[in-house]
Structure 1
Amino acid sequence: MKFALSPAALLCAIALSAAAHAQTPAPAISDGIVKIGVLTDIAGPFMDNVGKGSIAATEIAVEEFGGKVLGKPIEIVTADHQNKADIASTKTREWLDRDKVDAVTELGNSAVALAAMRIAQEKGRMSIVTGAGAQRISNEDCSPNNVHWVYDSYALANVGTKSLVKNGFKTWYYVTADYAFGHSLENDGRKFIEEAGGKVVGTSRYPFPGNDFASYILKANGSKANAVAIATAGLDLQNAIKQGREFGLGSGGQASVAMLMSLMDVHGLGLKTAGGMMFAESFYWDHDAESRKFAEKFMQKMKRMPTALQAGQYSAIRTYLKAVEQAKTDEVGAVIKAMKAMPINDAFAKNGKLRDDGKMVHDMFLVKVKTPAESKKPWDYYQIVETVPGSEAFESLAQSKCALVKK
């Protein structure tokens, strides 16, 4: 016997079926795995500041989650971008298209970061910049799929120059790496120097990466500037400071100022060479109980203490995984919304807040490198001279050129 549904009953059945389908939850974790791609400088000039240490920091964050989030496994893949934007672009596309990477991170070079960010946005995935500092990353080139974690050139220049100008270093000469981050450090530094009543009397830009800084240092010496600012990072910074000492830079009352220096730079130079230098920092391993706890885990893996960039990588991945857990999905928009809603206080960040432009704003430090006589134990390198609240260290949202910021 056959039964025919009336038109009204048929419509009701269709509606019930549609409602049941709508209530079926979408997969919380795409592909059943959370995959994090650490794209870093493994063998180049930034390898000590990021590199294998940033991979280790990522591993620590994942291990603290037990290797799973929402019951699904977390996987880490790694690659060396060689500080080349084209290599970074190729690897990012490969990861996102073929390997189903959910978040590409570290990106310790500003040109690399900007390239990877664009591809991540195009593919609807997330980028987490912890190793690059050009302000444009979270300013005019901001992306709704990106977060910018550790520092930017504005905060470094702001915290690292104003106090020196106020203490009598009125004239400055820049030795600058000729690429996006170097330019950003110099331009932001110039702004704060002039605002504080100082003046930049000259600039030399060298092709990055570089080995021979003699001609640039001689020009800086000849300028008779009170302070010579070295706007680069990693091995280039160490070589420039060493060669500067050989040519008398820093003698006769002239200050040698690093616009970006790390714990590993100090370690590589030694306290005899680096002692007394002042600069902006975003993390110190011996700052408090939380920073020391993370540093102990890092030491077990790397046999040395972490840099700010490596601690920032740990913080960013830890926050990302907490947000996935809270949002109950790895969908980018939901994850970033959850990250923006949570206060960030961990081994790296104090009073941290992820803003609408994707910048994570947190307290910064002005530090002074200890002399050999002042250092009392291994890796006892910094004296924290001043803690600058994030609201004062970073550019305000009102000044931002990011299109995501509502005016």
Structure 2
Amino acid sequence: MRKNLIASVAFLLASSTAVLAQSATDGKVKIGILNDQSGVYADFGGKSSVEAAKMAVEDFGGKVLDVPVEIVDADHQNKPDIASNIARQWYDTEQVDAIMELTTSSVALAVQAIGKEKKKIDIVTGAATTDLTGKACSPYGFHWAYDTHALAVGTGGALVKQGGDSWFFLTADYAFGYSLEQQTSDYVKASGGKVVGAVRHPLSTQDFSSFLLQAQSSGAKVIGLANAGLDTANAIKQAAEFGITQGGQHLAALLFTLAEVHGLGLEAAQGLTLTEGYYWNRDDESRAFAKKFFARTGKMPNMIHAGTYSAVTQYLKAVQKAGTDETEAVAKQLHEMPVDDVFGRGGTVGANGRMIHDMYLLQVKKPSESKEPWDYFNVLATIPGKEAYIDPAKSGCDLVK
């Protein structure tokens, strides 16, 4: 009888362990979307990224490991201290398992550092700095939609090939701007071009006149706009007032997406060259996803929105495959699983957390070329992922052996 009792207890313990191994640690899976919802990057990502995350959960079935999946969101106002406070509260008291989107590089770096400390996953789709998968990499940090190196290779490379061999930069004065200017400068120089100068402007400035006059007087063939969102749109509008492009200089919108082209309008944006990781009018699958997204948001998705959908979907797949939402197990699956969805086809994740996928070199159409609303781009080239992104072994991440 004693032997039978011991055997029964052992069986029950083993059964309980197996159940726990195939369940969420607290009875739910909770994902936080933390981004700019009211400032200069509100159209770039904003509430539309929240809707993309909710779409991903719904398309996944609303559950994983037989527990509900919940999306929460907050506006970090582009301030690392506010973002850090929200992240700590989410992780410490609100049982958030992972934080995603994280527009603004300074914010993403701060939140990734907290995630590393607390062993929590973050997947960045909105920020650009390569430091996220370089010197600031984390075993629990992933960079999904694009980065400054991919933008430099795409837009910078295209303009150098077209004869734009002298550059002057208008740079947003924080981590993202510095990274984008540096990556593009390196690429221009390596291609035989030169950088004749640069000027930095505050985030969300309204008056670019003094910065544009410096760029104009530099005589550079290309004025590289190492900024994003409304900053880029405003710089382009004010450049037109100074007759910069009419004078023969070319504007390079180094981070410009479908959302900003729509806000600026084809008349003002026509001819601009830019790089994105997704275009809604690429094929039947991307068009079907975009129409569902449009029905919810009233806009077509850019690479941030589609990338957020992909990141949430891949995270849920990793939880499902791991059989738990425990961080180490899920991070292992995220590193090992291929990415194959409407955004990241044939994608792979490097040891540094960089998701490597193809990028697209695009040119804004003339108004006469656009056949329907939101039909804004001609696809000039597909940039293979291995060309677009830094080799993980050369990224400076100490996780790569």
TM-score by length of 2: 0.96
Match of 1:176 among 171, 178, 181: 171
Partners of 2:107 and 2:113 lie apart in 1 by: 10
Cα distance in 2 between the residues matched to 1:272 and 1:153: 27
Deviation at residue 333 of structure 1 after TM alignment: 1.8
**Secondary structure class of the residue paired with 2:256:** coil
2:195 paired with 1:203: no
Equivalent residue letter for 1:228: I
- 1:355 maps onto 2:346 in alignment: no
Superposed CA offset, 1:64-104 (max 9, x none): 02211111001111110000000001001111111000011
User: How big is each residue's C-alpha offset from its partner over 1:295-326, in whole Å with a ceiling of 9 and x where there is no partner?
Assistant: 01110100110111010000110111111111
1:24 aligned partner: 16
State the distance in 2 between where 1:165 and 1:389 align: 18
Q: AA paired with 2:55?
A: I
Q: Contact 2:347/2:357 (CA < 8 Å) preserved in 1?
A: yes
TM-aligned CA deviation for residue 250 of structure 1: 1.3
Q: How does 1:142-181 map to 2 (within 5 A)?
A: 142-181=137-176
> Aligned AA for 1:166?
K
State which of 198, 208, 220 in structure 2 corresponds to 1:213.
Answer: 208
User: 1:303 aligns to what?
Assistant: 298
Quick check: 1:231 aligned with 2:223? no
Which structure 1 segments of 5+ residues have no match? none
Stretches (4+) displaced over 4 A: 12-20
Q: Which moved more, 1:13-22 or 1:141-150?
A: 13-22
Query: Which of 35, 40, 62 is the matching residue for 2:35?
Result: 40
* 8 Å contact from structure 2 (residues 354, 392) kept in 1: no
For 1:234 and 1:394, locate their aligned partners in 2 and report how far apart those are by CA, in whole Å: 22
Whole-angstrom CA distance in 1 between matches of 2:110 and 2:86:
11
Task: Describe the SS at the equivalent of 2:368.
Answer: coil
Highest CA radius of gyration, 1 or 2? 1
Partner AA of 1:392 in structure 2? E
Name structure 2 gaps, 5 residues minimum.
none
C-alpha contact (below 8 Å) 2:141/2:353 kept by paired residues: yes
Taking structure 1 as the reference length, what is the TM-score of the superposition? 0.94
Matched to 1:255, the amino acid is H
Instruction: State whether structure 2 residue 55 is matched by structure 1 residue 63.
Output: no
Asked whether the 8 Å contact 1:36–1:102 carries over to 2, the reply is yes
Q: How many Å separate the matches in 1 of 2:395 and 2:9?
A: 49
> For 1:270-300, what per-residue CA distance to the aligned partner results, in whole angstroms no more than 9, with x for missing partners?
1111100102111100111221111011101
Aligned partners of 2:7 and 2:88: how far apart in 1? 41
Which deviations, in whole Å up to 9, do the C-alpha atoms of 1:207-251 show, x marking residues without a partner?
Answer: 112111000000100011101001100111111110011111212
SS of the residue 1:373 aligns to: helix
Whichever residue aligns with residue 21 of structure 1, its letter is L
CA distance in 2, matches of 1:275, 1:202: 26
Are 1:123 and 2:115 an aligned pair? no
Q: In 1, distance between residues paired with 2:373 and 2:166?
A: 36
Q: Any idea what the Cα deviations from partners look like across 1:137-191, whole Å, max 9, x if unmatched?
A: 1111000111110111111111111121122111110000010000000000000
Distance 2:61 2:189 in 1: 50
- Give the one of 305, 317, 321 matched to 2:316: 321
Structure 2 SS opposite 1:376: coil
The alpha-carbon deviation at position 341 of structure 1 amounts to 2.5
Query: 1:367 is matched with which residue?
Result: 362
- Cα distance between partner residues in 2 of 1:199 and 1:72: 56
Q: C-alpha separation between the residues in 2 aligned to 1:14 and 1:84?
A: 58
Are 1:194 and 2:189 matched, yes or no?
yes
Equivalenced residue count is 398
Q: Is residue 405 of structure 1 aligned with residue 397 of structure 2?
A: no
* Secondary structure class of the residue paired with 2:210: helix
Are the aligned partners of 2:123 and 2:141 in contact in 1 as well (CA < 8 Å)? Answer: yes
Tell me the alpha carbon deviations over residues 256-280 of structure 1, each in whole angstroms, 9 at most, x when there is no partner: 1111001011111111111001021
Q: 72, 87, 97: which is aligned to 2:67? A: 72
* Residue 103 of structure 2 corresponds to residue 111 of structure 1: no
The residue that corresponds to 2:77 in the other structure is 82
Tell me the equivalent position of 2:95. Answer: 100
Q: Tell me what 2:340 maps to.
A: 345
Amino acid at match of 1:198: G
Deviation at 1:18, TM superposition (A): 6.4
